[in-house]
Amino acid sequence: MKPNIPRIISVTSGKGGVGKTNFVTNIAIVFKTLQKKVLLMDADIGLSNIDIMFGVAPKFNIKHVLSGEKSLKDIVLNTSYGVDIIPASSGIKELTNLTLEGKVKIIEELEQINDTYDIFLIDTAAGISDNVVFFCSAAHDVVVIVTSEPTSIADAYALIKVLHKEYGEKSFRVVVNNVKELKEGRETFRKLSMVAERFLGVNLDFVGYLPYDEKIKEAIIAQKPYISLYPTNEFSKKLTEIAKQILKKEVNLVKGGVQFFLKKALSFNP
Ligand SMILES: Nc1ncnc2c1ncn2[C@@H]1O[C@H](COP(=O)(O)OP(=O)(O)O)[C@@H](O)[C@H]1O
Ligand SMILES: [Mg+2]
C-alpha cells in the first residue's frame, strides 16, 4: 500500500498580531469539512495559543515530548471540531529556539503519526526566528498572512527575503487579512508582490483576502472557533475559498513528506 504523505502547510507573517492563529484555527475546520484529516501544530512553541482558541486545556504539550516524557501521539488532542492539535507550552523561553536535537525529535515523532493525516497545518510564531524558518523551509506550502499596514508588508517581505535567499524557498502563497474594502486586498498584495518580484525575483501567489470582522474578537473571547459560530458569514465564505485555492495547487508529495522535512532541517544545521 502506498504510504500516506501529509501535505505540510506552514502559516507565517513576519509581523505578529496579523491574524495567523485565528486563520489556522478556522481553516483547520474548513479542511476538515472538505474531508481532510488535519493535525494542527502550535509552533509558537514557547507561547501556546491554539489550545485557547479551541477552548481546551491540555495536560501535556510539546515540552513533554522534547523532554522525552511523552511521545507526540500521546499529547495529540482530539477537539470536538474534528481537528487534532499539538499544543505548545507556555512561558518556556528556551523553546523559542529549538535545538537541533529538538527539531530532529519533532520530525521523528511526526513521522510516527504520518499515516493518520492528510494535512499538517503549522501555526508559526511572529518574526524570523530560527524556529519559524525551520518550519517554513520544510513545508510544502508557505502561507504568508499580511495586512495593509506598511509594517506588516515590510515584515512579510523581510521574511520572504530570508526564506528565499538563505533557504532557497521559491513559492509563497499570500493571504491579505483585515480587509475593510475590496480593493484593499488587491492593493496590499500588489505592493508586496511588486517588491518581491523586483528585489528577489520571486513571484507571489495571491490566494485571497479575508474581511475585517468584529465578531472574530467575540469568538476568541468565547474560546470557540469563529467558523463554528458563523459558518455562513463573509469571513467563513472567503476562508473556504482560500482553503480550496490552497489545495488546488498540486505539490510534490512524493518528494515531500516528513523524511524530506528531516533532510531540509538538517541541511541548514551543518
Ligand atoms: N479578519 C479579522 N477581523 C477582525 N479581527 C481580526 C481578524 N483577524 C484577526 N483578528 C484579531 O487580531 C488579533 C490577532 O490575531 P491572531 O490570530 O492572534 O494573530 P497572530 O497569530 O498573527 O499574532 C486577535 O485579537 C483577533 O481577534
Ligand atoms: Mg499567533
Q: For atom 27 of ligand 1, which residue has the closest CA?
A: 217
pLDDT at 176: 98
pLDDT tens column, 11-26: 999 999 999 999 999 9
Q: Which of 11, 209, 216 to mutate to test the pocket of ligand 1 (most atoms within 8 A of CB)?
A: 216
The closest-lying atom of ligand 1 relative to the alpha carbon of residue 13 is 22
Coil, helix or strand at residue 77: strand
Q: For atom 10 of ligand 1, which residue has the closest CA?
A: 19
Q: Is the pLDDT of residue 3 over 70?
A: no
Ligand closest to the CA atom of residue 13 = 1
Alpha-helix residue ranges (DSSP H) falling in 56-212? 62-66, 72-75, 100-112, 130-138, 150-167, 182-195
Report the amino acid identity of residue 42: D
Q: Is the pLDDT of residue 219 over 60?
A: yes
Q: Residue range 242-261: average pLDDT?
A: 77
251 against 43, higher pLDDT? 43
CB 169 within 8 Å of CB 142: yes
pLDDT tens column, 82-129: 999 999 998 877 777 888 888 888 888 888 888 899 999 999 999 888
CA-based nearest residue to 30, from 86, 88, 82, 87: 82
Q: Is the pLDDT of residue 193 over 70?
A: yes
Q: Is 21 in the pocket of ligand 1 (CB under 6 A)?
A: yes
Cell of 236: 467563513
Q: Which of 22, 122, 129 to mutate to test the pocket of ligand 1 (most atoms within 8 A of CB)?
A: 22
Between helix 130-138 and helix 150-167 the angle, nearest 10°, is 70
Residue 155 has phi, psi (to 5 degrees) of -70, -35
Structural domains of the chain in order of their starting residue, each with its CATH number: 7-261 (3.40.50.300)
Q: Is the pLDDT of residue 137 over 90?
A: no
Q: How confident is the model at residue 134 (pLDDT cuts 50, 70, 90)?
A: confident
Q: Residue range 167-178: average pLDDT?
A: 94
Looking at every residue in the chain, the average pLDDT score rounds to: 91
pLDDT at 2: 56
Cell of 212: 475585517
72 against 137, higher pLDDT? 72
